[in-house]
């Protein structure tokens, strides 16, 4: 029986996942800030969304040649810039009482709707960019059953085919937790080959 | 114009020089791989376990590319690929030739890190099982 190995070849997935969690917390603060009419909370929330979006989007767009990752990164950067724009207006309102976007004549309803919409897209983009960049996803081939588990088959920028599944089973010693598993794949025989790494879903860092 | 493209495509597809070159290259890689130490070791370990090896060159056609692979699989007595529970099947391949829809060809050696790493994994599992 092969034990679960908490190893991550690159170490990027956990680091980028932390940024995605930061963005989710930021989006929650943004929504809470809007609901309670608290500009400071909204400004902090938007900043927590914008910075991770620009970092992960930048990596996904420019630090790999994987096509799908580049596209996701481009969208995330655009949403991150949009979020940063709203953040600048919220910080201005916090510090001076003025809001340059609202001063331009935009209605508050449209302003809040656009702000939450753009921040939501940036948060989603941060998670997608983190995920796609970590695995250098060039194109998604299929979602289906591979061996005993359902997963996603994709091609990497290096031209390799991989399978990522999310499942639970007993690993012996009473161990059974939901985890990600990344495997190599033989496209010629259609079989998933050796396991590259596994992560328990709620642990974002290498466990050794 | 449509006819012109059709003629051009058929000429490219019937390019014997290209298909012969690809065949020649794949056969040579196949022979070189069979001479390699790692293949001989896997073959011996598989025989000791009463398994056998299926080694082949094959072609897969995708949307815009055609790829030729060298594929190695370890088969049991029922001719099924041996599976290591929760790890994967003892089967892997690497690209030898990639041809795009413009008939531009890229040749690769079987000697590449990912393939060799996986062959070592197969070897390790044959040693353990």
Mean pLDDT, residues B61-65 taken together? 84
Local confidence band at A8 (pLDDT 50, 70, 90 cut-offs): very low
Residue A188: which of B60, B90, B121 has the nearest Cβ?
B60
Examine the pLDDT at A11 and tell me if it is beyond 70: no
pLDDT on residue B4:
44
pLDDT on residue B2:
39
CA distance B91 to chain A (A): 6
Chain B residues with CB under 8 Å of A159 CB are 95, 98
Local confidence band at A178 (pLDDT 50, 70, 90 cut-offs): confident
Element (DSSP H or E) covering residue B31: helix B16-35
Examine the pLDDT at A1 and tell me if it is beyond 50: no
Local confidence band at A9 (pLDDT 50, 70, 90 cut-offs): very low
Write b or e for each residue in A91-106: b if 16 or more Cβ atoms lie within 10 A of its Cβ, otherwise e.
Answer: bbbbeeeebebeeeee
Q: What is the mean pLDDT of chain B?
A: 89
Q: What is the mean pLDDT of chain A?
A: 86
pLDDT on residue A202:
60
Model ipTM value: 0.85
pLDDT on residue B29:
97
| Interface-testing mutation among A181, A194, A197, with chain B (most B C-beta atoms within 10 A) | A194
* 3-state SS, residue A162: strand
The nearest alpha carbon in chain A to B128 belongs to: A1
Beta carbon pairs, A and B, within 8 Å: 66
**What counts of helices (H) and strands (E) characterise chain A?**
5, 5
pTM above 0.90, yes or no: no
């Amino acid at each position: 029986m092969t034990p679960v190995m908490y190893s991550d070849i690159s170490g990027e997935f956990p680091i980028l996942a932390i940024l995605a969690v930061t963005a989710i917390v930021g989006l929650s603060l943004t929504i809470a800030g809007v609901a309670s009419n608290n500009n400071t909370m909204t400004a902090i929330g938007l900043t927590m969304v914008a910075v991770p979006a620009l970092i992960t989007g930048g990596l996904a767009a420019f630090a790999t040649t994987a096509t799908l990752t580049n596209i996701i990164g481009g969208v995330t950067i655009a949403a991150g810039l949009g979020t940063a724009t709203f953040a600048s207006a919220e910080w201005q309102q916090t510090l001076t009482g003025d809001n340059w976007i609202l001063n331009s004549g935009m209605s508050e309803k449209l302003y809040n709707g656009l702000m939450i919409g753009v921040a939501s897209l940036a948060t989603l983009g941060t998670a997608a960019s983190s995920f796609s960049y970590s695995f250098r996803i060039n194109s998604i081939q299929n979602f289906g059953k591979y061996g005993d588990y359902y997963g996603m088959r994709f091609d990497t920028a290096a031209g390799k085919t991989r399978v990522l599944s999310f499942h639970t089973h007993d690993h012996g010693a009473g161990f059974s937790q939901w985890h990600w598993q990344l495997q190599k794949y033989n496209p010629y025989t259609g079989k998933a080959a050796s396991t590259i790494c596994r992560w328990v879903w709620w642990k974002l860092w290498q466990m050794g | 114009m449509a006819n012109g493209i059709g003629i051009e495509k058929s000429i490219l597809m019937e390019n014997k020089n290209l298909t012969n070159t690809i065949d020649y290259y794949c056969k040579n890689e196949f022979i070189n791989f069979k001479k390699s130490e790692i293949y001989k070791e896997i073959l011996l370990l598989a025989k000791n376990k009463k398994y056998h090896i299926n080694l082949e060159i094959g072609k897969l056609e995708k949307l815009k590319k055609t790829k030729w692979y060298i594929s190695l699989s370890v088969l049991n007595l029922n001719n099924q690929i041996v599976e290591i529970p929760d790890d994967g099947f003892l089967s892997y391949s690497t690209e030898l030739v990639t041809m795009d829809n413009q008939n531009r060809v890229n040749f690769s050696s079987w000697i590449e890190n990912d393939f060799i790493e996986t062959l070592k994994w197969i070897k390790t599992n044959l040693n353990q099982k």
